[in-house]
Structure 1
Amino acid sequence: MLYEVNQDALLYELEHLGVYKPSVAIMLGKGKITPLKLLQVRTPAANIIKQEMLAAGGDCATPGTTITCAVPRVDILLLGNQKHYKTLLYKLKQMPYFGIPDIVKELERYLSPSPKLTKLADGRVLRYDSVKVMGIINVTPDSFYAGSRRTGLDAVLEQAEKMLAEGAAILDIGGESTRPGSDPVTPEEEWARVLPVVKAIKTKFPEAILSVDTYRAALAREAVQCGVDMINDISAMTADESMIAVVEETKASVILMHRKGNSKDMQLQCVYKNVVQEVTEYLLGRAALLQERQIGADKIILDPGIGFAKNDEQNLRLMQNLNSLTVNPYPVLMAASRKTTIGNVLGKEAAVCSCVKENAESVLNNGMAPAAEKTNFAPVPPEERMEGTLAVTAAAVYAGASLVRVHDVKENVRLIRMLEAIRRI
């Protein structure tokens, strides 16, 4: 008789097995193989690392050009557990050449991560002992999900009160739809939509943490002065370079999101060799730029930009590999609530199920299945994407995300709390 032990239950099983207590931590470090990808490693260093990983009992995947040093730099994939990586780190510390000291720093940070937190504009600290939920409040007439639209201060305040009562840690207020194909509103229109809402919510709920969803620095600055704590910039501060100065001066935290182009043309730019690697490199590069300006990791949140200049396969790949971002020092936000990819995936699945049912009925009635045809599908509309959103939230929790941005607060909070209870028991 045997059974597989879940990774989350490994500590429990070791303790109940009666393992010698000082050995528990050592064995935990051996219990999980975690692939790590190192980018642009000097080729001699890549050969050294491969040999040291093999000697430690792990492995290292390298391109075929590595052994002959035919190219100056390569990406490599380490295959090991915590024990292998600690052994590798010890060995590499003795080698101050071929750029190895920089790799040592990366491994040290990975093996000894600091708790993630976010310092807000007013000095409060948001800690991620549990995954936080950001509730979406759209003061726009044309957001892709009609259920999220709010007009009039009374309706907005009612929605804010509901979300806070349901467990939202942050309220994200947006005055411009940035769905694919949408046209921008004027700065004056966005200003008129957002600022009265910010002031009203902050007056009624002074302790609420507010985020403003804008790429315009002037609006962000005014919003922070009105009580906003966080800036959610879908352009990662590329649309308006003065946004960096706003963050410096106001001490607001900032969400940096990945996208290409703008809302009008971004879906024509879904071209990547490796979407996970390119999005990760881009966001870490933007974060590094802020850190050069003395804006700390405790002010920066990363968002892979689901649905922004990505097709369905690319969005799913980013959801699948979110830990490419969460392994870094910055909190990571997953913002996929009710988005098109969810509608497409669920629509395709429904079409396949319908096709299978029709084929089965044809066999029963006629003794033969119809000729195979390409399955057409209709996307599931935004109003029916709750379950798909919850699945993405669950995947984000397992990947180590710190926040999720959603339309449906209560349902996502309950899913997160239940999943966290299962994992920590």
Structure 2
Amino acid sequence: MLLKINKELLEQAIASIGAHPASLPIFANKAEILPFKLLQVRTPAANILKQEMLAAGGDAVVPTGCILNADKYVDVLLLGTRKHYALLLKKLEVMGYFGLSKVKAELEQALNPAPMVTTLADGRQLTYEEMCVMGILNVTPDSFYAGSRVPQMQAVLERAGRMLADGAGILDIGGESTRPGSDSVSGEEERSRVVPVIAALRKEYPEAVISVDTYRASTAEAALAAGADIINDVTAMEADADMADLVVRSKAPIILMHMRGTPKNMQQNCEYGDVVQEVATYLAERANILRERGVGADKIILDPGIGFAKNKEQNLLLMRDLTTLTSFGYPVLLAASRKTVVGQVLGGLPPEERLEGTIATSMQAVYAGAQMVRVHDVKEHTRAIRMLEAILRQR
């Protein structure tokens, strides 16, 4: 009889054989191939990595003709277990040439990631022992899902209270719809919608973590002054050059989302060679703008931008390969709640009927190792996520 073993429970399976306890990590480090793709590596470095991985017992995929150094830079796919990478890293310690020091640093971070944390400006921290659920509160008259629109102050406070009671770790307040084809509103109009709501929420729920969904630095600054904790910028600081200055100055965390164009025209900007790689490298580059100015990893969150300048197939690829984003050392947010891709996959369902499909996207976020989901239906998602986490952790 042959039993297939869940790789997440490998150490338990090894222990069940009766192996010596000290041998468990040794066997575990030999058990799983971990593929890593290195982008734009100098060709001599690629050849060195190929030979050193082979010598360690692993392998590396390089382009045909790489040995001839025909191209200055190439991509490399590393294939090895933790044991193989440990041997490679030891060799790379004395190879400070051809950019191999950077390769070593990136591999070390990916293999031994630091615990994820988001530090708010007031010193409070979000830790991610369990997935954080962000509840959506739109104070707009035209958001794509009518059920998320909360036009009156008392209704906003009541819904926020329900979300917090249902398990929301963050409340996300938006004052301008960014659905496909939507028109923008003025900064003054946006601020008149969100700032009073944020001030009221801070007074009513002083311990709540509040995010403001805006791409305008002026709105973000006013929202922070009113009590917001996090900036959620769907343009990753592209729309307003002052946003990076505000993040540096305020010490508030920012969510950087991938989008092309504007909500009005973004669905005419869906051409990619490799959507997963292009979105991942873009977000890493936007994060580096802040890192170079002294902003820590605990102030940055990445969002692939489901539904923003992507078609159905591209959205599905990004969700399937969400784990690609989790290797950068920043928390990852998936925001797919009731979006068009859910309706498309399920036969043209309207937003009101996309709850079950959205819950499936949150389950994938758990499997991919993401830290946060942004949803309209906090109670349902929190219950589903906590159940899946209990199954995976057996507690």
TM-score (norm 2): 0.98
Cα distance in 1 between the residues matched to 2:135 and 2:178: 17
Cα distance in 2 between the residues matched to 1:306 and 1:65: 37
Q: Offset at 1:44?
A: 1.3
Q: Which of 352, 363, 366 is the aligned partner of 1:397?
A: 366
User: May I ask how many residue pairs the two structures share in their alignment?
Assistant: 394
Whether 1:406 and 2:368 are equivalent positions in the alignment is no
Cα distance in 2 between the residues matched to 1:329 and 1:381: 36
Work out whether residues 138 and 174 of structure 1, in 8 Å CA contact, stay in contact via their aligned partners in 2.
Answer: yes
Q: Paired residue for 2:83?
A: 83
Greater shift, 290-299 or 19-28, is seen at 19-28
Whether 1:122 and 2:122 are equivalent positions in the alignment is yes
Q: Paired residue for 1:92?
A: 92
The 3-state SS of whatever aligns with 2:346 is: helix
Q: Offset at 1:51?
A: 1.6
The 3-state SS of whatever aligns with 1:67 is: helix
Q: Offset at 1:59?
A: 1.7
The 3-state SS of whatever aligns with 2:231 is: strand
The 3-state SS of whatever aligns with 1:231 is: strand
Structure 1 unpaired stretches of 5+: 348-378
Cα distance in 1 between the residues matched to 2:230 and 2:67: 48
Q: Which has the larger radius of gyration?
A: 1
Code of the residue aligned with 1:182 in structure 2: it is: S
Q: Offset at 1:15?
A: 2.1
Where in structure 2 are the equivalents of 1:335-350 lying within 5 Å? 335-347=335-347
Residue deviations 1:368-401, cap 9 Å, x none?
Answer: xxxxxxxxxxx11111111111111111111110
The 3-state SS of whatever aligns with 1:179 is: coil
Q: Paired residue for 2:389?
A: 420
Work out whether residues 191 and 222 of structure 2, in 8 Å CA contact, stay in contact via their aligned partners in 1.
Answer: no
Q: Offset at 1:22?
A: 1.3
Q: Paired residue for 2:65?
A: 65
Code of the residue aligned with 2:290 in structure 1: it is: L
Whether 1:107 and 2:130 are equivalent positions in the alignment is no
Q: Paired residue for 2:48?
A: 48
Q: Offset at 1:325?
A: 0.8
Q: Offset at 1:23?
A: 1.0
Structure 2 unpaired stretches of 5+: none
Cα distance in 2 between the residues matched to 1:95 and 1:259: 38
Work out whether residues 210 and 228 of structure 1, in 8 Å CA contact, stay in contact via their aligned partners in 2.
Answer: yes
Work out whether residues 8 and 424 of structure 1, in 8 Å CA contact, stay in contact via their aligned partners in 2.
Answer: no
Code of the residue aligned with 1:206 in structure 2: it is: P
The 3-state SS of whatever aligns with 2:67 is: coil
Work out whether residues 121 and 228 of structure 1, in 8 Å CA contact, stay in contact via their aligned partners in 2.
Answer: no
Code of the residue aligned with 1:6 in structure 2: it is: N
Q: Offset at 1:417?
A: 0.8
Q: Paired residue for 1:215?
A: 215
Q: Offset at 1:84?
A: 1.3
Q: Which of 363, 369, 384 is the aligned partner of 2:353?
A: 384
Q: Offset at 1:173?
A: 0.2
Cα distance in 2 between the residues matched to 1:303 and 1:65: 37
Q: Offset at 1:29?
A: 1.6
The 3-state SS of whatever aligns with 2:263 is: coil
Cα distance in 2 between the residues matched to 1:232 and 1:263: 15
TM-score (norm 1): 0.91
Code of the residue aligned with 2:371 in structure 1: it is: S
Greater shift, 335-344 or 61-70, is seen at 61-70
Where in structure 2 are the equivalents of 1:222-301 lying within 5 Å? 222-301=222-301
Cα distance in 1 between the residues matched to 2:53 and 2:84: 7
Cα distance in 1 between the residues matched to 2:125 and 2:272: 36
Code of the residue aligned with 1:99 in structure 2: it is: G
Code of the residue aligned with 1:259 in structure 2: it is: M
Cα distance in 2 between the residues matched to 1:160 and 1:16: 47
Cα distance in 2 between the residues matched to 1:312 and 1:63: 31
Work out whether residues 230 and 255 of structure 2, in 8 Å CA contact, stay in contact via their aligned partners in 1.
Answer: yes
Cα distance in 1 between the residues matched to 2:99 and 2:63: 19
Residue deviations 1:392-425, cap 9 Å, x none?
Answer: 1111111110100001111111111111111112
